[in-house]
Amino acid sequence: MQRETTIALVGNPNTGKSTLFNALTGLKQKIANYPGVTVEKKVGYATIGGKQFRIVDLPGTYSLNPKQIDERITYQVLAGKYEHEPEPDLVIVMADASNLDRNLYLVSQIMDLGIPVIVVLSMVDVAEERGIEINADKISKGFGVPVLPMVTKNEKEVQKLRDYLSSHTLNASKPLQWNPGESLRKAINIIIEEWIKPHTGLPERTWTVEALRFIGDDQAINLIPEIEKQHQLRQIVQKARKILDDAGKNYAAEEVLKRYDYIEKCTAGSVVKSGEDKATLSDKIDEYVTHKVFGPVIFGLVLLLMFQSIFSWAEPFMDLIDLLFIEMGSWVAANLPPGILNDLLVEGVIAGLGGVVIFLPQITFLFFFISVLEGTGYMARAAFVMDGFMTRIGLHGRSVVPLMSGFACAIPGIMAARTIENWSDRIITIMVLPFMACSARLPVYALMIAAFIPSTTFLGIFTLQGITFFGLYIFGIVMAILAAFVMKQFIKTDQPSPFIMELPSYKMPKWSGVFQNVFDRGKVFVTEAGKIILGISIVLWFLASFPKTDQPETLATDNITTENVETRSSEDEQVAASLKLQQSYAGQFGQFIEPVIEPLGFDWKIGIGLITSFAAREVMVGTLNTIYSVQDQDDAVSLQKKLQRDVDSNGEPIYSVWTALSLMVFFALAMQCMSTIAIVKRETNSWKWPAVMFIYMTSLAYICSFLVYQVGTNFS
Amino acid sequence: MKKLSDLKESGVRTIKNVKGPEMLRLLEMGLTPGSKVEVVRAAPLGYPIEVKIRGYLLSLRESEAKCIEIE
């Protein structure tokens, strides 16, 4: 059998690489993380001219001197140094025709790696609009590699690439086509002869690029694990650099300058610019979108529109999913013989699956908007406009959209943090994001505020209830900012966090790409985070249902009269449910932790709620409802009233304003959401970060609630 | 020594030298000595700035703009 050919797809960010990937592979794609890191690995398959191709879409990069972890993977795969990915047989480099110099820089580096290269010139149409006409044949002759101009949106043009692939056998070009000059050449040779040949087992084709990395970048040297070897290498590098110094060259700049010299020579005469610096439509849009005043205003409006739509569009779907799973649950409950299996299916599995699927509408809508904003080029502008504000609180311009998404739900927000390239900025954004008041906190806030905050009005329009509500949102934001600020002091990485970011020209998003992205996000959530959520749901079900108690049958037989048999039996069911919950492991645990939560003003009933609400924060309300149904069997009275009139053994009311405030503060800060834990595990690829998140948020919640309750009750 | 961060008014300038911790990345992005650079505009709080280099737009924070010497 013929071995399949592996093609690596490489290019600068924003070159339309994903579009070509989708066009070549269609739906035959697999998405996963590279092992141990949170860089997405996209692999697809295609049959071209009867031959099987395996296509790897490598993370976008500007150069092979990797700064970020994802760029490092691109380099390692191309150099054949990455253990989890076979060496590619062929590299397709996407180069943006409207931005040729910088794109050809990467091409020239890849050509040094001794792998056959095809250059696909994308966005020829954008270039033409700017008055840039490119002679691809001339560039091809200059570089000595095939150069195919292409509008990737056009299927016919993609076919040209397929035809080329099936009709040509490609050879690797020789390294150093770009003439590094005498001194740099000498320096390269020193590194190869004295370090690479005797000390590494690297294949010959990578020698030049490896040597250049050491000459130009200390970081490459620092990555050598053994100190002694590092020291030895450093001495060799010093020697090589001295040659450049003696020749009056800057060792770190020489390679780049020589490459750009070569590129300028090759493109001379093949790029014709007419009407230089003509203001394009893109420039005109930018005058408003990145304006000092209009910019933030426009960004605010875009966010508002986005979240309004997510709320109003996702809600009917969420209700529908909710209904569907309830129906499914009751169907199974009615049609399977009662028993543990029935309970497990209905209350554990089906409820757990429902808890996973319920997030899909919000994820879908948020990623639809994010993909459109990314695809048009607006996202980079939003980051540009907001970066000044965000860096002052220790975050990044790109943190704004994920953080704002957190107001709807932390899950899609944490997934959206992928758009932040720098790891430490990304992790801080993820870690503070759950402080944003998500919609699951609303039912709890609403219940407590309605029951315990007086509806005093002042200034005519403001009520104390409304202000409390608003205050809780602000409280979440302030805590997120403080936490980000503190974390910035602790999470220091060796990676600098530059903001050398390209602002790509505006274009229409490619719709198939948008839908592909939305589909991918949903699939990743269901298959990866879904497993964890389902698992925890079943554990929670077990805790709330076992040990089994004897049903208090006597209750059911008392006082039955014909007219109220219906209401009686439903009431009895509630009572039974409540007793069951109280005596379950969850109930026992709630009572067990009572001494711990007492200083916060909470009793064991709230304790049970704190445990069950780990499934989702709004479950708190349902749990209190179940518990109070046994204690206070007055059906005519709402849960709100029942809470108000609950008294302890001394006849003192259990709840006060301070209990309510303490509980709301606790809900604002504590990490009580298993789905968030699951998605943080997925997005950071380790259990470390979800563990840190759980501990720091819950401790902070405990301390703040303690302060609110103790100060409140002792000084008021 | 004039730096890109000193530029108040827009206008096309020529890069003289690039220094500092981000030198390599800046050079790789095409900000090589001798190439033309133009400050297009600044973000709301003064930074980052948007520059035009080799026909495309790039945003730079203050610390990075300070690394670029101009003629």
The minimal CB distance from B28 to the residues A132, A256, A384 is found for A256
Kindly report, residue by residue over A311-355, the tens digit of the pLDDT.
Answer: 678 888 988 998 998 898 889 888 888 888 888 888 778 887 887
State the pLDDT confidence band at A676, using cuts at 50, 70 and 90: very high
Range of weakest confidence among A14-23, A165-174, A269-278 = A269-278
Q: How confident is the model at residue A66 (pLDDT cuts 50, 70, 90)?
A: confident
pLDDT of A16 above 60:
yes
Radius of gyration of chain A (CA): 31
**Is the ipTM beyond the 0.90 threshold?**
yes
Say yes or no for a CB contact (<8 Å) between B44 and A105. Answer: no
Inter-chain residue contact A99 with B56, CB threshold 8 Å: yes
Q: Which residues of A touch B29 (CB under 8 A)?
A: 62, 102, 500, 502
| Partner residue opposite A503 with nearest CB, options B25, B42, B50 | B50
Tell me the nearest-neighbour CA distance from B36 into chain A, angstroms. Answer: 12
Q: Is A218 near chain B, with CB under 8 Å?
A: no
Please tell me the predicted confidence (pLDDT) of residue A274. Answer: 63
Residue A501 sits at the chain B interface (C-beta within 8 Å): yes
Query: In this complex, do B44 and A293 lie within 8 Å of one another by their Cβ atoms?
Result: yes
Can you tell me the mean pLDDT for A520-540?
81
What pLDDT is attached to residue A560? Answer: 44
From chain A, the residues in CB contact with B33 under 8 A are 257
Residue A562 has pLDDT above 60, yes or no: no
Residues A584-594 have pLDDT tens digits of 888 888 888 88
Q: In 3D, which of A602, A609, A596 has the Cα closest to residue A544?
A: A609
CA distance A253 to chain B (A): 7
Chain B residues within an 8 Å CB radius of A392: 45
Strands A40-48 and A51-57: antiparallel
Burial tier of A390 (Cβ tally within 10 Å: 0-12, 13-18, 19+): buried
pLDDT digits (tens, 9 = 90+) for B18-30: 988 888 889 999 9
**Average pLDDT of A510-520?**
86
Q: Does A14 touch chain B (CB under 8 A)?
A: no
Listed range (A230-244, A392-406, A488-502, A624-638) with the worst mean pLDDT: A624-638
* Alpha-carbon distance values, A243 to A185, A254, A429, A707 (Å): 10, 12, 45, 66
Residue A431: predicted pLDDT: 95
Q: Is A577 exposed, middle or buried (0-12, 13-18, 19+ CB in 10 A)?
A: middle
Interchain contact B28–A (C-beta under 8 A): yes
A118 contacts A174 by C-beta, under 8 angstroms: no
| Residue numbers in B near A388 (CB within 8 A) | 43-48
Q: What's the angle, vertex CA A460, arms to CA A458 and CA A461, rounded to 5?
A: 95
DSSP A302-370: HHHHHHHHHHHHHHHHHHHHHHHHHHHHHHHHHHSPSSHHHHIIIIIIIHHHHHHHTTHHHHHHHHHHH
Distance CA A439, CA A314 (A): 12
Q: Give the number of other Cβ atoms within 10 Å of residue B33's Cβ.
A: 17
Name the pLDDT band for A495 (thresholds 50, 70, 90). low
Cβ within 8 Å, pair B32-A257: yes
Cβ-defined contact of A101 to B24 (cutoff 8 Å):
no
Looking at residue A278, its pLDDT comes to 61
Between these two residues, A461 and A159, which has the higher pLDDT value? A159
Is A290 an interface residue toward B (CB < 8 Å)?
A: yes
Give the rounded percent of residues in chain A with a pLDDT score beyond 70: 92
B50 touches chain A (CB under 8 A): yes
- Which residues is A372 bridged to in the sheet? none
First to last CA, chain A: 83
Burial of A547 (0-12, 13-18, 19+ CB in 10 A): exposed
Say what percent of chain A tops pLDDT 90: 24
In 3D space, the residue among A470, A472, A468 whose CA is nearest the CA of residue A480 turns out to be A472
Instruction: Summarize pLDDT for A568-609 with one digit per residue, the tens.
Output: 555 666 677 777 777 888 888 888 888 899 899 888 888 888
To test the contact with chain B by mutation, choose from A500, A502, A505, A507 the residue with the greatest count of B C-beta atoms within 10 A, namely A500
Contact across the interface for B42 and A98, Cβ inside 8 Å? no
pLDDT at A147: 92
What mean pLDDT do residues A445-473 have?
82
Per-position pLDDT tens, chain B of length 71: 788 888 766 788 899 999 888 888 899 999 999 999 999 888 888 889 999 998 889 999 888 898 899 98
Contacts of B16 in chain A (CB under 8 A): none
What average pLDDT is seen over chain A? 83
- CB atoms B48 and A498 under 8 Å: no
The answer to whether the CB atoms of B61 and A292 lie below 8 A apart is: no
